[in-house]
Amino acid sequence: MDRLRIIGGRRLAGEVQVSGAKNAALPILCASLLAADTLSLARVPSLQDVRTMLRLLRQLGVRESRQGDSLVLDATTLASHEAPYDLVKTMRASILVLGPLLARLGEARVSLPGGCAIGARPVDQHIKGLRAMGARISIEHGYVVARASRLRGARIVTDMVTVTGTENLMMAATLASGTTLIENAAREPEVVDLARVLNAMGAQVSGAGTDRIEIQGVESLHGASHSVMADRIEAGTFLCAVAAAGGEVVLRGVEGAIMDATLDKLRATGAEITAGPDWIRLAMQGRPRSVSVRTAPFPGFATDMQAQFMAVDAIAGGTATITETIFENRFMHVLELQRLGADIAIEGNTAVVRGVERLSGATVMATDLRASAGLVIAALVADGETVIDRIYHLDRGYESIEKKLGALGAAVERLR
Ligand code: UD1
């Protein structure tokens, strides 16, 4: 199992090219299932989760090829409507094939994802929405079994804001008869990117980016090409690394507007930030100031940035509270940060972080994707050597993280 060895204490300087967004690429890959045609995608990040999704799509009959920098998916004929447990269990986003398969083929059999490290994460809202659209759904032997000769447009109000739930229902509704209204929809930029692709394929989606998305169903969709949006979480992770370690970096290929909440909090740490249409520069002198955060659906502060800010707060001047409102068990990085010398106390869904002058390197274990990113940031500022074990979590969501950090002057090495 690969590990990451980091020698802390170096300032970071230079440029980073931001990759395409994992959380946009995954639903967009699934959108290919909707049309008996080809979807050509640029800027698909090279990540474990993307490879897992491509494996699932291949199993469903989608053929893939490369044309220059683009990935071309051909879903002209599909071979199966089943997403098996062994693929879904490794990546919960596999549930995103449910809506497209049902809409295109009239049936889908998708394994229930079950729990994961950061909490229960049920898919009841996906099922509720599809039922409202006329699908007959049962749970059999751990699988969601869904049938509908043709889905019907419906008004759906989700009980909570769910990102993949909104995406699944939006995709299903593109081929339904009549108009679907999704209320309390997720407003994440990745939902907007998916809507862009769907519309390029001939769908009629409006309102993406607001909490009310309207989809007028069409008979069929066709091929399209698209370039995946920037990964705002990868971008935010690099910015947090510089806020913690000090230095100056320019991120290329990302616009600040999709990450206002993160940039506001980074400014509050004392970082100096400037941004243009496709770049963000952050400079940090001295020790960051503590900054409290509370996670919320977009445009609030992203839960996927929580662990990284905890790492910044761990060495900041002052005391911060970090409140997690989206997932019930997303503080597993706390014990590992404590092994590096952080002073953090958990009270319910709030962590109280008292900044310490220094962290000291140790062996720590990655527990989930973003927790791992928090540990990398802590390791970059810790004295001496930190070895992060189980970095397959990191590889699910960060493209060549050791190369990108290395290019900024960090001492990072992958141990195989
Ligand atoms: C997506 C992101 C993930 C991010 C999360 C929250 C992808 C591939 N993943 O995950 O990186 O951390 O949004 O921003 O885009 N819930 C239910 N029932 C449902 C659906 C959700 O109870 O049917 C709950 C979840 O347990 C959680 C909350 O709603 O507490 C939000 O989850 P959701 O937005 O669905 O997360 P994902 O889409 O899985």
Query: Whose CA is closest to atom 34 on ligand 1?
Result: 162
Q: What are phi and psi of 96, to 5 degrees?
A: -65, -10
Q: Give the per-residue pLDDT at 349.
A: 95
**pLDDT-derived band at 384, boundaries 50, 70, 90:** very high
75-99 confidence digits (pLDDT tens): 999 999 999 999 888 888 999 999 9
Q: Give the per-residue pLDDT at 329.
A: 80
**pLDDT-derived band at 180, boundaries 50, 70, 90:** very high
**Whole-Å CA distances, 196 to 71, 136, 166, 213:** 17, 29, 14, 13
Pocket of ligand 1, beta carbon within 6 A: 23, 26, 92-93, 119-126, 160, 162-165, 190, 303-304, 326-327
Torsion 390-395-398-404 (CA) sign: positive
* Gap between the Cα atoms of 182 and 152, Å rounded: 13
Q: Identify residue 222 by its one-letter amino acid code.
A: H
* Gap between the Cα atoms of 135 and 305, Å rounded: 36
Given a cut of 80, is residue 116 above it in pLDDT?
no
Starting at the edge strand found earlier in the chain, the sheet holding 63-67 runs: 63-67, 70-74, 38-42, 224-227
Beta bridge partners of 387: 5, 363
**pTM check: above 0.95:** yes
**Cα distance from N-terminal residue to C-terminal residue, the chain:** 7
Given a cut of 70, is residue 322 above it in pLDDT?
yes
Burial zone of 276 (CB within 10 Å; 0-12 exposed, 13-18 middle, 19+ buried):
exposed
**pLDDT-derived band at 122, boundaries 50, 70, 90:** confident
Query: Whose CA is closest to atom 1 on ligand 1?
Result: 163
Of 53, 160, 194, 332, the one to substitute when testing ligand 1's pocket (max ligand atoms within 8 A of C-beta) is 160
CB 76 within 8 A of CB 39: no
Enzyme catalytic residues:
116
Give the chain's mean pLDDT.
96
Query: Whose CA is closest to atom 22 on ligand 1?
Result: 122
Distance 15 CA to ligand 1 centre (A): 32
Average pLDDT over residues 159-185: 98
Of 22, 164, 329, the one to substitute when testing ligand 1's pocket (max ligand atoms within 8 A of C-beta) is 164
Residues in the chain, total? 416
Q: Give the per-residue pLDDT at 113.
A: 83
